[in-house]
Amino acid sequence: MNNNNPEQAGGQREAGMKCPKCGAFIRTSIFQLLTTNALVCPSCHLRLNIDRMKSKPAFDALRKVQAAKDNLEKKSHFNR
């Protein structure tokens, strides 16, 4: 897959962002954002540090989304 193309099979967008330095796509996930202190561009290796204090409202929302996702996955496995 091309580093600049965030499209997955089925037309779904992959989670991530464009590197502010080189424009390559930096893939990430909610789990990765919640557990890491930085993202690194796979092309130019720019390190993007995450300021957890300034981003607290966003992290609180991400935790809720991750909990809902985990709950949905748990229930979908239970019903099979």
Domain assignment present for 49: yes
Report, as an integer, the average pLDDT of 24-37: 92
Q: Which residues of 14-53 are buried (b: 16+ CB within 10 A; e: fewer)?
A: eeeeebeeeebbbeeebeebeeeeebebeeeebeeeeeee
Domain assignment of residue 18, given as a range: 9-78
Q: What is the value of pTM for the model shown?
A: 0.65
Phi-psi region at 73: left, alpha or beta (left = phi > 0; alpha = psi -120 to 50): alpha
pLDDT band at 19; cut points 50, 70, 90: very high
Sign, CA torsion 27/14/52/32:
negative
**Per the domain annotation, does 16 fall within a domain?**
yes
Number of domains forming the structure of the chain = 1
pLDDT tens-digit series, residues 43-80: 999 999 999 889 899 989 989 998 998 888 888 776 55
Is position 34 within any domain? yes
Q: Is residue 58 part of a domain?
A: yes
Q: Does 20 fall in a domain?
A: yes
Classify residue 4: in a domain, yes or no.
no
**Residue 10 pLDDT class (50, 70, 90 cuts):** low
